[in-house]
Amino acid sequence: MMDRCFRKGALNILAMTIFRRSPSLCCVPIVMLILLYRLIVPSRCAFGAEPEKPASNAAVESISTRDYLVEGLLCAAKGDYQSALEAYGLVLAREPHAGAASYASAQAWIGLDQLDSARHYSSIAVESDPSNKYYRGMLAAIYHEQKSYELAAREFQTLSELDPSNITVLYSLAQSYLSAGEGGKALKVYLRILRFDPSDERTLSRILWLELKLHQYREAIATLRSLIRQVPDNQKLRLTLGELYLQIDEPQKAIEIFEALARDHPAFLPAWVDLLGVRAEQGDPLRFQECLNRYYSLDHVTLNQKIELARLFMIRSELDGIYTAPALVMLERIASEEPDNLNVLLMRAMLYSRQERYQEAREGLTRVLELDSSKVHAWEELASSYMAGNQYHHVLYTIRKAREVLNPLTLRLQVLDGYALFRSGLYEEASRVLNDALGFVNKESRQWLLIQLHMTRAMNYEKLMDMDKSRQAYIAVLDIDPENPLALNNLAYMMAESGGDLDKALEYALKAVAEEPDNPVFLDTLGWVYAQRGEYDNAKGYLEKAVQQKPDEPEIYQHLSEVYKALGDEEKAEAYRQKAGE
């Protein structure tokens, strides 16, 4: 009940605040009539009183529509909306398009939380007097409450034309545009509002937010400068200004802002982060080192802050390799002061692996495990470094040593173990390990790891000639990543070979080639699917393209031989058959 009351109250407040002329939504003459009527005629809806029945039709006719309207307003004032509506109904029976009665009816229906009816009567009121701002304000508020934002915006736009200086109406118009997903129109309205008070922080903030959302960075810079003039020492605003200059490719202006911030507020870490980031992106190691030295020389900078800054750059390096070398510079600088810090050693080793400096990575990881053999991530990274070099026996040895310390192994170690067994030709053992790993999958498991698990299972089952289980594993990959090109390709080829659903096989093969148009394996699969469908001309085109990309693959030649044979070209069929046997 409280929610209902709040909602209808909020709606009335919205309509009222649009026009701050009077606390009442009725015009002054009607209010005066209510007071006069109370002195002369007892109300039918007075508390504890039974409504009087009219003596005759003539008596009813003698009562004016104004009397019914006033009586309805009295009832509404007491919260008796039903009686109020009955009185308004008598008015509308005589004058179906009476604006005041329709408007009052809309208010009563709002009181009963019946917005559809309120909308109906509010529309009639507006039709009766299109220039009445109160009527139109009520209709606009109802539209907005019902989430008919485009209609609300239309009404607020008309209101703004009727009363161009009403800022409340303009704010309501902007909000309706925002709710309707029309940020550009909302921005124009806020710019219009700003003309009334160019220094209004609330309006400037909303304009800035919209300009950023709409990627209007140059305009946002001008807006931000206006805000900064009012609060010149706001660190976050100045930082944002610098970041905007980066967006429009003016790094020097950004650097000047970040340098000034770092100088004025040495403890403001975001300024240092952005400054170091720009220096890293410029690819100038000397300038980056100079900036890093200044940051490290500050008395308040702790070891943890240095490590976290390096971690941030390390995370960035996963998306952009330009940050790898700067992150490594940070970590090597810290390691020179803290040679046995486990986190620093581990992070540095991971970056070494990313740079394919596997021997240095293993030395660091081995040192971590000497200091703390329970460091799970170190075991995972060590096994992974061997996997990157296709040293499967070292992977298996590392995991066996990890098993002596960790119980149980992590999902990642189990997947690495299963893959190393698969690549070593130990298919039965790989199947056991990978199936055991399924029991460790949970909602927190990373998607890329689950894809690797199911992909390895699928390929391993192919080697074991268990095509049903292989197919199920490939489908499990596609459940996680529907566009995975390798799973699409392998599943399509399997279906083509086994005489499965060739329509589905074609769909999968086309998707795989769309992802990697020049992959000879995928082109061969697509060509072979077409061949199995009897579409030999299509098959020939893709297989010819595949053999151009990979001229040393016998299977492609074999497929071409069969296609040309089906096309009746025995000479080419024989030539490709011979190449397949070479």
Q: Which residue has the tokens 């009185």?
A: 87
CATH number of this structure's domain 509-581, picked from the four choices 1.25.40.10, 3.40.190.80, 3.30.870.10, 2.60.40.10: 1.25.40.10
- Provide the pLDDT for residue 3: 41
Average per-residue pLDDT in the chain? 89
Mean pLDDT of 310-317: 95
Which range, of 55-64, 441-450, 569-578, averages the lowest pLDDT?
55-64
Neighbouring residues of 101: CB distance < 8 A, sequence distance ≥ 6: 65, 69, 72, 88, 91, 92, 95
* Tokens standing for residue 88: 């308004």
Q: 508, 499 in Cβ contact below 8 A?
A: no
- Provide the pLDDT for residue 308: 94
User: Residue 2, Cα to own-chain centre: how many angstroms?
Assistant: 34
What's the Cα-to-Cα distance from 50 to each of 43, 44, 55, 517, rounded to whole Å? 10, 7, 15, 85
Q: Looking at the predicted structure, is the pLDDT value of residue 100 above 50? A: yes
DSSP secondary structure string for all residues of 37-100: HHHHS--TT-TTPPPPPPS-HHHHHHS-HHHHHHHHHHHHHTT-HHHHHHHHHHHHHH-TT-HH
- Provide the pLDDT for residue 551: 87
Tell me the C-alpha distance between 67 and 473, whole Å: 80
Tell me the C-alpha distance between 84 and 90, whole Å: 10
- Provide the pLDDT for residue 430: 98
Residue 63: band (very low, low, confident or very high) from pLDDT cuts 50, 70, 90: low
Each residue of 182-197: pLDDT tens digit? 999 999 999 999 999 9
* Tokens standing for residue 554: 């016998």
Neighbouring residues of 201: CB distance < 8 A, sequence distance ≥ 6: 227, 230, 231
User: What's this model's pTM, rounded to 2 decimal places?
Assistant: 0.68
Q: ω into residue 408 within 30 of 0, thus cis?
A: yes
- What's 323's DSSP letter? G
Each residue of 129-175: pLDDT tens digit? 999 999 999 999 999 999 999 999 999 999 999 999 999 999 999 99
Instruction: Quote the percentage of the chain above a pLDDT of 90.
Output: 82
Mean pLDDT of 403-414: 95
Q: Looking at the predicted structure, is the pLDDT value of residue 464 above 60? A: yes
Residue 4: band (very low, low, confident or very high) from pLDDT cuts 50, 70, 90: very low
Tell me the C-alpha distance between 166 and 137, whole Å: 12
What is residue 149's three-state secondary structure? helix
Mean pLDDT of 329-343: 95
Residue 6: band (very low, low, confident or very high) from pLDDT cuts 50, 70, 90: very low
User: Residue 221, Cα to own-chain centre: how many angstroms?
Assistant: 25
* Annotated domain spans of the chain: 509-581
